[in-house]
């Protein structure tokens, strides 16, 4: 505001000087008329205009430079671009008000249509007494004017119009364009300004002015205004209309966020009665782009109109365009053409038919041309933004949250359903590429958004089994990305909508119950997971022979859950049975056989049969070394597990050598945030810690935690695990306070996101309890350990190592407490005897 006042004073001084100059003229001297002589501006600036001082200063410097150059070599051309409602035209209005005394002519031309532009240039020609009769003559009359002028080309949004035609041909003057299309940058010779939301403080000020909240009342509502400003992404038009809504008495400032959640469409279509924008409401600014697209009778325009609502199904966050290529490959696979008849929840030809034509499923090669053309058109209308990943060279798209909301809300219910089906099939088919999904943590937000839609919308008209197939595939993706809480909610909603329950498991829906069992296991509800697996096996035993792949898969899942629950003997017995069948029926390098052998080795390791584990893992690794390239994820995972077995066997040097070998391969082949690369570094840090190389462990763990902070959500299990391990390293290094601070943070996040009996949460609580006790916080540590023991007794097998460990620690703490109390009593008695 100080800069704005300073600039205003400068203009007043200039104006006073002009007045003095006129007063000093003698009556015999000709008096130049006060500038501007020609003022062709159709509307006045908005009194609510707030901020943008830095931008106005930049533009002012540009036009001043054009004004001061006696022999310019090229015309000064500047561009302001951004989404609708950001105030591009309003900035130009403010600018011409500020500099009007410096220019002989100020000409405003609306170039949103060719007819509007041509009509404006005809009018300019008449004002300049041009003898010509065409709009081009008006443009050239301006080009030939010797006195300083400024030309505003407003709303240069249409990608099919060549705006070069509207620039006067001489190097004189200053031209300023406003546009949603950033491709218009190639016209620029001076300044390009990408207009985004207001700074937060200016956004709050605009909102409070629009709501007519007086200066003396504003301090009391600062927090409320901040919430609204952040909710509306500091979008000027949205803030102005929100203020008008509040000023009209429809709700209070504090109530607006809740009202927005409930009535978003109503609020963003609200129209102010006074100080109206060119567009009556927020949504109308975006709808103008659609109207232009609908007039373009091209394949690319049609593709763009189809793509926009499909993208709006997901989150507005960054979406890798690789997803569409992955979907195309998934649709090419045998799974699409020949659905597994024994698995009702397999994708089939119906799902292939729902993919958008621009994906070109029938083509034998992936061709992104139509897709990228549609993206380019949407970007030219500022309806989405594109980004390029410098490491992978792949592009991604994102949407402004208000554009995203509009793109959803403008659709009728049946259109929303159709868009959901299209995006659902894209995600479902892309799920075939598990490795790619592992790399893309940012896809998690999109799958969560896709699966958060109302069930009635998702199941609106298509066969329930087809829709369930999509959700089933999405559910497995959520499971791989460890979105455990979201998946749990999705499965409850889905089973309720289908009228299913745990007491009656039908053959067509076995896949859902298997997924639910995996989710229960991931959330630490081992008993429920075991019950579900056993129920699924009962149904399968009625229809499938012993040794059938689906039945073996469920048995494998049950064995894994037994292993997690500490029932090692049951897990080993079941896995040995699975391995014996698969060794008879599958070749030695078959992934399913190697998977079950790998799980059996893990069970041996948990049971303490370390030599058996090492023998089996070395066998697996030797096969994979013959059949898989060295950077294959399965081969690296097996080597990783072998390293863990070596640690248990005391072979520290072999462990470090193997993990460093894995790390070198990952460093060559994987980006630094890849989960597999981080997992091997995490394991190496744990070995360093066990071997007494604490500084090396801390350095590596701090690196992992730093990457996780940039790439993973706050509650992601991998991020919390690395923070937990770093705290342990700090503790061993004597940095007790840092360790406790980090552990408290982990426990606090887990308390907000995980159930009280989740294994990860209990592990963290157990560890911090021991650290509290060791660091002198004995009472707090003992209380927390009592809680851990109580919860673990309720969910774990009585011989589970985790439960036994917690019980041993609690006994130690209680014994120590009793000894301390006894020593205190002796000391008191001694003092009394002395007295």
Instruction: State how beta strands 76-81 and 174-179 pair.
Output: parallel
Residue 322 has φ and ψ, to the nearest 5°, of: -60, -25
Instruction: From 283, 302, 299, 290, select the one nearest 238 (Cα to Cα).
Output: 283
Q: What is the pLDDT of residue 80?
A: 94
Average per-residue pLDDT in the chain?
86
Q: What is the pLDDT of residue 700?
A: 93
**For the ranges 515-519, 643-647, 702-706, which has the lowest average pLDDT?**
643-647
C-alpha separations of 744 from 731, 769, 773, 781, 805 in Å? 13, 10, 14, 12, 21
Asked if 524 and 758 count as a contact pair (C-beta separation under 8 A), the reply is: yes
Most confident of 34-43, 264-273, 642-651: 642-651
Calpha distance 343→544 (Å, rounded): 12
- What's the per-residue H, E or C state across 488-504? HHHHHHHHHHHCCECCE
C-alpha separations of 201 from 4, 208, 228, 234, 630 in Å? 15, 11, 12, 9, 54
pLDDT of 282 strictly over 80: yes
Residue 171 CB burial class (10 angstroms; 0-12, 13-18, ≥19)? middle
Calpha distance 207→228 (Å, rounded): 8
Helix (H) / strand (E) containing 311: helix 299-311
**For the ranges 333-347, 625-639, 647-661, 680-694, which has the lowest average pLDDT?**
333-347
Calpha distance 601→104 (Å, rounded): 86
pLDDT of 337 strictly over 60: no
**CA end-to-end span of the chain:** 76
Calpha distance 544→818 (Å, rounded): 60
Question: DSSP string of 338-375?
Answer: S--TT-TTS--HHHHHTS-GGG-TT-SS---HHHHHHH
Q: What is the pLDDT of residue 273?
A: 58
Q: What is the pLDDT of residue 825?
A: 60
Q: What is the pLDDT of residue 279?
A: 58
Question: How does pLDDT run across 718-768, given as a tens digit for each residue?
Answer: 899 999 999 999 999 999 999 999 999 999 999 988 888 888 899 999 999
**For the ranges 189-193, 228-232, 649-653, which has the lowest average pLDDT?**
649-653
- Reduced to 3 states (helix: H, G, I; strand: E, B; else coil), residue 387 is strand
> Model confidence at 29, in pLDDT bands (50, 70, 90)?
very low
> Model confidence at 614, in pLDDT bands (50, 70, 90)?
very high
Q: What is the pLDDT of residue 25?
A: 41
Q: What is the pLDDT of residue 832?
A: 56
Length of the chain: 835
Q: Which residue has the higher pLDDT, 467 or 318?
A: 467
Asked if 130 and 63 count as a contact pair (C-beta separation under 8 A), the reply is: no
Question: How does pLDDT run across 552-607, given as a tens digit for each residue?
Answer: 999 999 999 999 888 899 999 999 999 999 999 999 999 999 999 999 999 999 88
pLDDT of 254 strictly over 50: yes
Q: What is the pLDDT of residue 11?
A: 45
The whole-model pTM stands at 0.77
Calpha distance 606→567 (Å, rounded): 10
- Reduced to 3 states (helix: H, G, I; strand: E, B; else coil), residue 724 is helix
Instruction: State how beta strands 105-110 and 174-179 pair.
Output: unpaired
662-671: long-range contacts, CB 8 A cutoff, minimum separation 24:
662/636, 665/630, 665/631, 665/636, 666/631, 666/636, 668/631, 669/631, 670/631, 671/391, 671/392, 671/439
Instruction: From 487, 471, 554, select the one nearest 519 (Cα to Cα).
Output: 487
Question: How does pLDDT run across 163-203, given as a tens digit for each residue?
Answer: 999 999 888 889 999 998 888 899 998 899 999 999 999 99
Asked if 775 and 740 count as a contact pair (C-beta separation under 8 A), the reply is: yes
Residues 806-815 have a mean pLDDT of 91
**For the ranges 416-420, 665-669, 769-773, which has the lowest average pLDDT?**
665-669
Calpha distance 217→785 (Å, rounded): 50
Q: What is the pLDDT of residue 95?
A: 92
Asked if 792 and 761 count as a contact pair (C-beta separation under 8 A), the reply is: no
Q: What is the pLDDT of residue 341?
A: 54
Calpha distance 63→36 (Å, rounded): 15
Calpha distance 382→377 (Å, rounded): 9
Residue 35 has φ and ψ, to the nearest 5°, of: -80, 155
Asked if 582 and 601 count as a contact pair (C-beta separation under 8 A), the reply is: no
pLDDT of 389 strictly over 60: yes
pLDDT of 110 strictly over 70: yes
Q: What share of the chain is helix, strand, coil (3-state, %, to 5)?
A: 65, 5, 30
Instruction: From 134, 142, 140, select the one nearest 107 (Cα to Cα).
Output: 142
Rg for the chain, CA atoms, rounded: 34
Residues 707-721 have a mean pLDDT of 86
Residue 653 CB burial class (10 angstroms; 0-12, 13-18, ≥19)? exposed
> Model confidence at 440, in pLDDT bands (50, 70, 90)?
low
pLDDT of 30 strictly over 50: no
Q: What is the pLDDT of residue 513?
A: 94
Asked if 318 and 397 count as a contact pair (C-beta separation under 8 A), the reply is: yes
Residues 348-375 have a mean pLDDT of 93
Q: What is the pLDDT of residue 507?
A: 83
Q: Where are the alpha helices (DSSP H) in 105-189?
A: 114-127, 135-143
Q: What is the pLDDT of residue 596?
A: 95
> Model confidence at 407, in pLDDT bands (50, 70, 90)?
very high
Residues 654-681 have a mean pLDDT of 85
**C-alpha angle 453-316-673 in degrees, rounded to nearest 5:** 110
Helix (H) / strand (E) containing 39: strand 38-40
Most confident of 261-270, 381-390, 406-415: 406-415
Q: What is the pLDDT of residue 671?
A: 78
Residues 215-230 have a mean pLDDT of 89
Calpha distance 166→290 (Å, rounded): 24
Asked if 363 and 325 count as a contact pair (C-beta separation under 8 A), the reply is: no
Asked if 656 and 687 count as a contact pair (C-beta separation under 8 A), the reply is: yes
């Amino acid at each position: 505001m100080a800069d704005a006042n300073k600039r205003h004073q400068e203009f007043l001084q200039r104006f006073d000087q002009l007045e003095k100059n006129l007063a000093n003229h003698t009556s015999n001297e000709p008096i130049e008329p006060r500038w501007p002589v020609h003022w062709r501006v159709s509307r006045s600036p908005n009194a609510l205009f707030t901020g943008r001082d830095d931008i106005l200063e930049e533009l002012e410097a540009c036009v001043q430079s054009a004004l001061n150059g006696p022999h310019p070599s090229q015309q000064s051309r500047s561009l302001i671009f951004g989404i609708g409602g950001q105030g591009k035209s309003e900035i130009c209005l403010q600018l011409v008000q500020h500099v009007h005394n410096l220019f002989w002519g100020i000409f405003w031309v609306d170039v949103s249509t060719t007819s509007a532009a041509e009509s404006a240039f005809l009018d300019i020609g008449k004002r300049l007494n041009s003898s010509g009769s065409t709009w081009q003559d008006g443009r050239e009359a301006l080009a030939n004017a010797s006195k300083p002028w400024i030309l505003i080309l407003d709303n240069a949004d249409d990608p099919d119009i060549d705006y070069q035609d509207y620039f006067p041909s001489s190097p004189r003057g200053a031209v300023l364009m406003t546009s949603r299309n950033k491709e218009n940058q190639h016209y620029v010779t001076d300044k390009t300004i990408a207009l985004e939301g207001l700074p937060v403080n200016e956004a709050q000020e605009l909102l409070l002015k629009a709501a007519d909240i007086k200066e003396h009342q504003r301090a009391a509502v600062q927090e409320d205004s901040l919430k609204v400003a952040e909710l509306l992404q500091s979008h000027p038009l949205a803030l102005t209309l929100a203020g008008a809504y509040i000023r009209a008495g429809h709700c209070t400032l504090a109530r607006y966020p809740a009202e927005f959640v409930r009535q978003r469409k109503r609020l963003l279509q609200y129209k102010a009665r006074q100080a109206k924008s060119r567009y009556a409401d927020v949504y109308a600014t975006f709808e103008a782009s659609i109207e232009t697209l609908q007039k373009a009778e091209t394949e690319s325009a049609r593709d763009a109109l189809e793509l926009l609502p499909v993208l709006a199904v997901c989150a507005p966050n960054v979406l890798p365009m690789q997803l569409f290529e992955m979907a195309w490959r998934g649709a090419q696979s045998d799974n699409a053409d020949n659905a597994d008849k024994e698995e009702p929840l397999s994708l089939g030809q119906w799902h292939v038919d729902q993919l958008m034509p621009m994906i070109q499923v029938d083509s034998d090669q992936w061709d992104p041309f139509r897709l990228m053309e549609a993206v380019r058109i949407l970007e030219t209308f500022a309806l989405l933004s594109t980004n390029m990943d410098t490491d992978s060279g792949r592009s991604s798209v994102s949407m402004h949250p208000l554009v995203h909301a509009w793109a959803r809300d403008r659709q009728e219910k049946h259109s929303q359903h159709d868009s959901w089906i299209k995006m659902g099939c894209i995600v479902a088919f892309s799920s075939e590429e598990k490795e790619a999904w592992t790399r893309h943590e940012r896809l998690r937000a999109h799958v969560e958004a896709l699966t958060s839609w109302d069930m009635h919308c998702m199941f609106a008209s298509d066969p329930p089994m087809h829709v369930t197939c999509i959700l089933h595939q999405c559910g497995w993706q959520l499971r791989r990305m460890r979105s455990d809480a979201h998946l749990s909610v999705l499965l409850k909603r889905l089973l309720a909508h289908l009228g299913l329950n745990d007491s009656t498991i039908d053959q067509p829906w076995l896949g859902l119950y298997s997924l639910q069992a995996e989710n229960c296991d991931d959330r630490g509800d081992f008993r429920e997971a075991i019950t579900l697996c056993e129920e699924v096996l009962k149904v399968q035993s009625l229809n499938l022979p012993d040794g059938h792949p689906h039945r073996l898969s469920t048995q494998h899942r049950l064995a894994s859950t037994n292993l997690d629950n500490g029932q090692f003997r049951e897990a080993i017995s079941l896995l040995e049975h699975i391995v014996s069948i698969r060794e008879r029926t599958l070749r030695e390098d078959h992934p399913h056989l190697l998977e079950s052998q790998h799980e059996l080795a893990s069970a041996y390791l948990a049971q303490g049969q370390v030599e058996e584990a090492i023998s089996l893992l070395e066998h697996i690794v030797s096969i994979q070394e013959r059949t898989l390239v060295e950077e294959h994820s399965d081969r690296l995972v097996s080597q990783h597990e072998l390293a863990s077995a070596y640690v248990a066997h005391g072979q520290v040097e072999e462990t470090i050598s193997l993990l460093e070998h894995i790390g070198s391969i990952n460093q060559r082949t994987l980006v630094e945030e890849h989960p597999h690369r981080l997992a091997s570094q995490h394991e190496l840090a744990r070995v360093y810690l066990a071997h007494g190389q604490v500084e090396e462990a801390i350095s590596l763990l701090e690196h992992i935690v730093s990457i996780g902070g940039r790439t993973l959500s706050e509650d992601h299990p991998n991020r919390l695990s690395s923070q937990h391990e770093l705290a342990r390293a700090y503790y061993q290094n004597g940095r007790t306070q840092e360790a406790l601070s980090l552990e408290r943070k982990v426990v606090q996040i887990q308390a907000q996101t995980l159930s009280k009996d989740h294994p990860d949460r209990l592990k963290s609580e157990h560890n911090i309890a021991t650290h509290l006790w060791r660091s002198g916080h004995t009472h707090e540590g003992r209380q927390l350990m009592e809680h851990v023991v109580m919860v673990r007794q309720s969910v774990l097998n009585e011989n589970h190592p985790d439960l036994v460990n917690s019980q041993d620690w609690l006994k130690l703490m209680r014994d120590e407490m009793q000894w301390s109390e006894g020593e205190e009593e002796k000391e008191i008695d001694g003092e009394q005897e002395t007295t």
